[in-house]
Protein backbone atom coordinates (compact mmCIF):
# COMPACT_ATOMS: atom_id res chain seq x y z
CA UNK A 1 0.00 0.00 0.00
CA UNK A 2 1.31 3.46 -0.83
CA UNK A 3 1.28 6.55 1.33
CA UNK A 4 -0.82 8.21 -1.37
CA UNK A 5 -3.52 5.54 -0.89
CA UNK A 6 -3.83 6.47 2.77
CA UNK A 7 -3.85 10.19 2.08
CA UNK A 8 -6.81 9.72 -0.26
CA UNK A 9 -8.98 8.56 2.65
CA UNK A 10 -11.30 11.43 3.61
CA UNK A 11 -11.06 12.80 7.12
CA UNK A 12 -13.38 11.15 9.62
CA UNK A 13 -16.59 13.02 10.36
CA UNK A 14 -18.48 13.37 13.59
CA UNK A 15 -20.29 10.06 13.15
CA UNK A 16 -19.68 6.63 11.71
CA UNK A 17 -21.49 5.07 8.77
CA UNK A 18 -19.36 6.87 6.19
CA UNK A 19 -18.42 3.81 4.16
CA UNK A 20 -20.03 5.18 0.98
CA UNK A 21 -18.10 8.45 1.26
CA UNK A 22 -14.83 6.58 1.74
CA UNK A 23 -15.64 4.32 -1.21
CA UNK A 24 -16.28 7.32 -3.47
CA UNK A 25 -12.99 8.95 -2.48
CA UNK A 26 -11.02 5.77 -3.14
CA UNK A 27 -12.86 4.72 -6.29
CA UNK A 28 -14.33 1.60 -4.70
CA UNK A 29 -17.76 0.09 -5.24
CA UNK A 30 -19.75 1.07 -2.09
CA UNK A 31 -21.42 -2.34 -2.14
CA UNK A 32 -18.05 -3.98 -1.58
CA UNK A 33 -17.08 -1.92 1.47
CA UNK A 34 -17.25 -3.55 4.91
CA UNK A 35 -18.41 -0.60 7.02
CA UNK A 36 -17.48 -1.34 10.62
CA UNK A 37 -17.80 2.31 11.54
CA UNK A 38 -21.56 1.72 11.87
CA UNK A 39 -22.46 -0.68 14.68
CA UNK A 40 -25.35 -2.63 13.15
CA UNK A 41 -26.66 -6.08 13.99
CA UNK A 42 -24.46 -8.49 11.97
CA UNK A 43 -27.06 -11.26 12.35
CA UNK A 44 -30.21 -9.44 11.24
CA UNK A 45 -32.06 -11.01 8.31
CA UNK A 46 -31.97 -9.13 5.02
CA UNK A 47 -34.26 -6.14 5.63
CA UNK A 48 -34.66 -5.45 1.91
CA UNK A 49 -36.72 -8.59 1.31
CA UNK A 50 -39.01 -7.69 4.23
CA UNK A 51 -39.45 -4.04 3.31
CA UNK A 52 -40.07 -4.99 -0.33
CA UNK A 53 -43.36 -6.58 0.73
CA UNK A 54 -44.54 -3.17 1.93
CA UNK A 55 -43.80 -0.93 -1.04
CA UNK A 56 -47.52 -0.51 -1.61
CA UNK A 57 -47.43 1.84 1.39
CA UNK A 58 -45.68 4.40 -0.82
CA UNK A 59 -49.06 5.30 -2.30
CA UNK A 60 -50.66 6.48 0.95
CA UNK A 61 -49.83 8.65 3.92
CA UNK A 62 -48.20 6.68 6.75
CA UNK A 63 -50.11 5.62 9.85
CA UNK A 64 -47.80 4.39 12.63
CA UNK A 65 -50.58 3.07 14.91
CA UNK A 66 -50.19 -0.63 14.04
CA UNK A 67 -46.40 -0.42 14.20
CA UNK A 68 -46.55 1.39 17.54
CA UNK A 69 -48.81 -1.29 19.00
CA UNK A 70 -46.50 -4.04 17.72
CA UNK A 71 -43.42 -2.45 19.28
CA UNK A 72 -45.22 -1.80 22.57
CA UNK A 73 -46.25 -5.45 22.74
CA UNK A 74 -42.70 -6.60 22.02
CA UNK A 75 -41.23 -4.33 24.69
CA UNK A 76 -43.98 -5.10 27.21
CA UNK A 77 -45.43 -1.63 27.72
CA UNK A 78 -48.65 0.09 26.72
CA UNK A 79 -48.85 1.77 23.31
CA UNK A 80 -49.47 5.10 25.05
CA UNK A 81 -45.91 4.81 26.41
CA UNK A 82 -44.30 4.46 22.98
CA UNK A 83 -43.54 7.02 20.27
CA UNK A 84 -42.09 5.87 16.96
CA UNK A 85 -39.59 8.30 15.47
CA UNK A 86 -37.62 8.94 12.32
CA UNK A 87 -34.60 7.07 13.62
CA UNK A 88 -32.91 7.25 16.98
CA UNK A 89 -31.63 10.72 16.12
CA UNK A 90 -35.17 12.14 16.09
CA UNK A 91 -35.94 10.42 19.38
CA UNK A 92 -32.88 12.08 20.93
CA UNK A 93 -33.74 15.45 19.38
CA UNK A 94 -37.34 15.41 20.60
CA UNK A 95 -36.49 14.38 24.17
CA UNK A 96 -33.51 16.72 24.33
CA UNK A 97 -35.52 19.70 23.09
CA UNK A 98 -38.22 19.15 25.71
CA UNK A 99 -36.15 18.00 28.71
CA UNK A 100 -32.63 19.26 28.05
CA UNK A 101 -29.77 17.16 29.31
CA UNK A 102 -26.18 16.68 30.37
CA UNK A 103 -23.66 13.87 29.93
CA UNK A 104 -20.46 12.53 31.41
CA UNK A 105 -17.87 12.66 28.64
CA UNK A 106 -17.04 10.87 26.47
CA UNK A 107 -20.56 10.29 25.20
CA UNK A 108 -22.53 10.10 21.95
CA UNK A 109 -22.39 13.50 20.27
CA UNK A 110 -26.13 13.88 19.62
CA UNK A 111 -27.01 13.85 23.33
CA UNK A 112 -27.78 17.30 24.76
CA UNK A 113 -25.15 19.12 26.78
CA UNK A 114 -27.00 22.22 27.93
CA UNK A 115 -27.80 21.13 31.48
CA UNK A 116 -30.73 19.24 32.92
CA UNK A 117 -31.36 15.51 33.37
CA UNK A 118 -28.48 13.07 33.04
CA UNK A 119 -28.27 11.07 29.81
CA UNK A 120 -26.27 7.86 29.49
CA UNK A 121 -25.90 5.46 26.59
CA UNK A 122 -26.23 1.85 27.76
CA UNK A 123 -24.07 0.10 26.79
CA UNK A 124 -21.88 3.16 26.81
CA UNK A 125 -20.85 4.58 23.46
CA UNK A 126 -17.95 4.40 22.70
CA UNK A 127 -16.59 2.05 25.42
CA UNK A 128 -19.25 -0.66 25.08
CA UNK A 129 -19.64 -1.13 28.84
CA UNK A 130 -23.05 -1.73 30.39
CA UNK A 131 -24.14 0.49 33.27
CA UNK A 132 -23.90 -1.02 36.73
CA UNK A 133 -27.23 -2.09 38.26
CA UNK A 134 -27.07 0.75 40.78
CA UNK A 135 -26.22 3.43 38.20
CA UNK A 136 -29.02 5.83 37.35
CA UNK A 137 -29.91 8.19 34.53
CA UNK A 138 -33.00 10.19 33.75
CA UNK A 139 -32.63 9.32 30.06
CA UNK A 140 -31.14 6.04 28.86
CA UNK A 141 -30.04 5.71 25.24
CA UNK A 142 -30.57 1.98 24.66
CA UNK A 143 -29.73 1.88 20.96
CA UNK A 144 -27.43 -1.11 21.54
CA UNK A 145 -29.01 -2.54 24.70
CA UNK A 146 -31.00 -5.39 23.05
CA UNK A 147 -27.91 -6.65 21.23
CA UNK A 148 -25.86 -6.51 24.45
CA UNK A 149 -28.34 -8.17 26.80
CA UNK A 150 -30.97 -10.01 24.77
CA UNK A 151 -33.67 -7.86 26.42
CA UNK A 152 -35.54 -4.88 25.04
CA UNK A 153 -34.90 -2.47 27.89
CA UNK A 154 -33.37 -2.11 31.33
CA UNK A 155 -36.86 -1.13 32.50
CA UNK A 156 -36.18 1.71 34.92
CA UNK A 157 -39.73 2.90 35.58
CA UNK A 158 -38.67 6.44 36.43
CA UNK A 159 -36.48 6.93 33.33
CA UNK A 160 -37.11 7.84 29.71
CA UNK A 161 -35.64 5.55 27.03
CA UNK A 162 -34.57 6.41 23.49
CA UNK A 163 -33.73 3.61 21.08
CA UNK A 164 -32.86 2.71 17.50
CA UNK A 165 -34.60 -0.05 15.57
CA UNK A 166 -32.50 0.64 12.51
CA UNK A 167 -29.40 -0.60 14.36
CA UNK A 168 -31.24 -3.66 15.62
CA UNK A 169 -32.50 -4.63 12.16
CA UNK A 170 -29.44 -3.31 10.24
CA UNK A 171 -31.43 -0.86 8.11
CA UNK A 172 -30.14 2.64 8.90
CA UNK A 173 -31.58 4.04 5.68
CA UNK A 174 -35.12 3.12 6.74
CA UNK A 175 -35.00 5.41 9.81
CA UNK A 176 -36.84 3.87 12.74
CA UNK A 177 -36.36 4.85 16.37
CA UNK A 178 -38.50 5.19 19.46
CA UNK A 179 -39.10 6.83 22.81
CA UNK A 180 -40.45 4.95 25.82
CA UNK A 181 -41.74 7.10 28.65
CA UNK A 182 -44.71 8.23 30.72
CA UNK A 183 -47.88 8.71 28.66
CA UNK A 184 -48.01 12.46 29.31
CA UNK A 185 -44.47 12.95 28.07
CA UNK A 186 -45.02 10.69 25.05
CA UNK A 187 -48.15 12.66 24.15
CA UNK A 188 -46.24 15.94 24.45
CA UNK A 189 -43.41 14.62 22.27
CA UNK A 190 -45.93 13.44 19.68
CA UNK A 191 -47.21 17.00 19.57
CA UNK A 192 -43.66 18.25 18.98
CA UNK A 193 -43.08 15.75 16.17
CA UNK A 194 -43.74 16.76 12.55
CA UNK A 195 -46.69 15.09 10.82
CA UNK A 196 -45.81 11.84 9.02
CA UNK A 197 -42.35 11.74 10.58
CA UNK A 198 -42.10 7.95 10.24
CA UNK A 199 -42.27 7.01 6.58
CA UNK A 200 -44.82 4.58 5.16
CA UNK A 201 -42.57 1.61 4.32
CA UNK A 202 -40.95 1.81 7.77
CA UNK A 203 -44.27 1.92 9.62
CA UNK A 204 -45.77 -0.80 7.45
CA UNK A 205 -42.77 -3.16 7.65
CA UNK A 206 -42.04 -2.84 11.38
CA UNK A 207 -44.43 -5.60 12.57
CA UNK A 208 -42.80 -8.03 10.12
CA UNK A 209 -39.32 -6.91 11.19
CA UNK A 210 -40.24 -7.45 14.83
CA UNK A 211 -41.43 -10.96 14.01
CA UNK A 212 -37.85 -11.85 12.99
CA UNK A 213 -36.30 -10.63 16.25
CA UNK A 214 -34.69 -13.20 18.54
CA UNK A 215 -32.92 -10.97 21.01
CA UNK A 216 -31.45 -13.69 23.28
CA UNK A 217 -30.06 -15.64 20.32
CA UNK A 218 -28.66 -12.52 18.69
CA UNK A 219 -27.03 -11.31 21.90
CA UNK A 220 -25.48 -14.72 22.57
CA UNK A 221 -24.08 -15.04 19.06
CA UNK A 222 -22.74 -11.48 19.09
CA UNK A 223 -20.95 -12.19 22.39
CA UNK A 224 -19.13 -15.07 20.70
CA UNK A 225 -18.23 -12.95 17.68
CA UNK A 226 -17.08 -10.15 19.98
CA UNK A 227 -14.65 -12.48 21.71
CA UNK A 228 -13.23 -13.41 18.30
CA UNK A 229 -12.95 -9.73 17.38
CA UNK A 230 -11.13 -8.87 20.61
CA UNK A 231 -8.68 -11.71 20.01
CA UNK A 232 -8.09 -10.56 16.42
CA UNK A 233 -7.59 -6.92 17.34
CA UNK A 234 -5.35 -7.86 20.26
CA UNK A 235 -3.16 -10.00 18.01
CA UNK A 236 -2.46 -6.88 15.94
CA UNK A 237 -1.54 -4.77 18.96
CA UNK A 238 -4.59 -2.50 18.78
CA UNK A 239 -5.40 -2.54 22.49
CA UNK A 240 -9.02 -3.77 22.41
CA UNK A 241 -10.91 -2.86 25.57
CA UNK A 242 -13.48 -5.01 27.39
CA UNK A 243 -16.94 -4.54 25.88
CA UNK A 244 -20.46 -5.84 26.25
CA UNK A 245 -21.76 -4.18 23.10
CA UNK A 246 -21.70 -5.04 19.41
CA UNK A 247 -18.56 -2.93 19.05
CA UNK A 248 -15.10 -2.78 20.59
CA UNK A 249 -13.02 0.28 21.46
CA UNK A 250 -9.33 0.02 20.58
CA UNK A 251 -6.98 2.16 22.67
CA UNK A 252 -3.92 1.84 20.39
CA UNK A 253 -5.40 2.41 16.96
CA UNK A 254 -3.91 5.63 15.64
CA UNK A 255 -4.15 5.62 11.84
CA UNK A 256 -6.20 2.41 11.74
CA UNK A 257 -8.97 3.98 9.67
CA UNK A 258 -6.48 5.17 7.06
CA UNK A 259 -4.71 1.81 7.01
CA UNK A 260 -7.82 -0.28 6.46
CA UNK A 261 -9.87 1.93 4.14
CA UNK A 262 -7.87 1.18 0.95
CA UNK A 263 -8.64 -2.49 1.65
CA UNK A 264 -12.37 -1.77 1.67
CA UNK A 265 -12.82 -1.86 5.46
CA UNK A 266 -13.92 1.24 7.39
CA UNK A 267 -13.73 1.69 11.18
CA UNK A 268 -14.86 4.53 13.44
CA UNK A 269 -12.17 7.04 14.29
CA UNK A 270 -12.90 8.23 17.85
CA UNK A 271 -11.31 11.67 17.70
CA UNK A 272 -14.79 13.22 17.72
CA UNK A 273 -15.34 11.59 21.13
CA UNK A 274 -12.19 13.33 22.37
CA UNK A 275 -10.32 10.02 22.11
CA UNK A 276 -7.55 10.70 19.61
CA UNK A 277 -5.60 7.60 18.61
CA UNK A 278 -8.52 5.30 19.38
CA UNK A 279 -10.98 3.56 17.09
CA UNK A 280 -14.31 1.80 17.53
CA UNK A 281 -14.80 -1.38 15.52
CA UNK A 282 -18.23 -2.92 15.04
CA UNK A 283 -18.62 -6.66 15.55
CA UNK A 284 -18.89 -8.21 12.09
CA UNK A 285 -20.48 -11.47 11.06
CA UNK A 286 -18.30 -14.52 10.33
CA UNK A 287 -17.51 -13.49 6.74
CA UNK A 288 -16.78 -9.95 7.82
CA UNK A 289 -14.45 -11.26 10.52
CA UNK A 290 -12.43 -13.11 7.91
CA UNK A 291 -12.30 -10.05 5.70
CA UNK A 292 -11.18 -7.82 8.57
CA UNK A 293 -8.44 -10.33 9.40
CA UNK A 294 -7.18 -10.21 5.81
CA UNK A 295 -7.27 -6.41 5.76
CA UNK A 296 -5.35 -6.15 9.03
CA UNK A 297 -2.72 -8.55 7.74
CA UNK A 298 -2.41 -6.78 4.39
CA UNK A 299 -2.27 -3.28 5.91
CA UNK A 300 0.67 -4.15 8.13
Rg of the chain over Cα atoms, rounded to whole angstroms, equals 19
Q: Which residues are CB-contacts of 100 (< 8 A; sequence separation ≥ 6)?
A: 112, 114, 115, 116, 117
CA dist 279 and 249 (Å) reads 6
pLDDT digits (tens, 9 = 90+) for 226-261: 999 999 999 999 999 999 999 999 999 999 999 999
Q: How confident is the model at residue 159 (pLDDT cuts 50, 70, 90)?
A: very high
- Tell me which DSSP letter residue 242 carries: P
Report pLDDT for 109.
Answer: 95
CA dist 211 and 197 (Å) reads 23
Report pLDDT for 78.
Answer: 98
Q: Indicate the SS3 state at residue 268.
A: strand
Greater confidence (7 vs 171) lies with 171
Domain limits, the chain: 3-44+215-299, 47-211
Q: How confident is the model at residue 146 (pLDDT cuts 50, 70, 90)?
A: very high
The pLDDT mean for the chain works out to: 95
Query: Is the torsion defined by CA of 291, 297, 298, 299 positive or negative?
Result: positive
Q: What is the mean pLDDT of residues 100-123?
A: 97
Q: What is the mean pLDDT of residues 72-78?
A: 98
CATH of 3-44+215-299, one of 2.40.50.140, 3.40.50.1370, 3.40.50.300, 3.90.1150.10: 3.90.1150.10
Greater confidence (14 vs 165) lies with 165
Indicate the burial class of 61 (C-beta count within 10 angstroms; 0-12, 13-18, 19 or more).
exposed
User: Given a cut of 90, is residue 214 above it in pLDDT?
Assistant: yes
* Percent of the chain with pLDDT strictly greater than 70: 98
Report pLDDT for 4.
Answer: 42
User: Given a cut of 60, is residue 1 above it in pLDDT?
Assistant: no
Report pLDDT for 101.
Answer: 98
Indicate the burial class of 11 (C-beta count within 10 angstroms; 0-12, 13-18, 19 or more).
exposed
Report pLDDT for 5.
Answer: 67
CA trace torsion 122, 157, 136, 84 (10° rounding):
40
User: Given a cut of 80, is residue 51 above it in pLDDT?
Assistant: yes
Topology given in CATH for the domain delimited by 47-211: 3.40.640
CA dist 181 and 190 (Å) reads 12
Report pLDDT for 2.
Answer: 42
Report pLDDT for 13.
Answer: 78
User: Given a cut of 60, is residue 86 above it in pLDDT?
Assistant: yes
Peptide bond preceding 229: is omega within 30 degrees of 0, i.e. cis? Answer: no
CA dist 252 and 234 (Å) reads 10
Amino acid sequence: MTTLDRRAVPAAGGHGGDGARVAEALGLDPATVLDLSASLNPLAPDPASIVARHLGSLGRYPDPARATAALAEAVGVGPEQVLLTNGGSEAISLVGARLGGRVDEPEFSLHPRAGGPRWRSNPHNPTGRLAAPDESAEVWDEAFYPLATGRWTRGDAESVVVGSLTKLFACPGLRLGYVIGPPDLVAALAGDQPHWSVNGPAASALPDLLATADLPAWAGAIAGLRRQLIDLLGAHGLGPQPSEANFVLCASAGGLRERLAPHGVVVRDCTSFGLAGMARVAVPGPEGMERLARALEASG
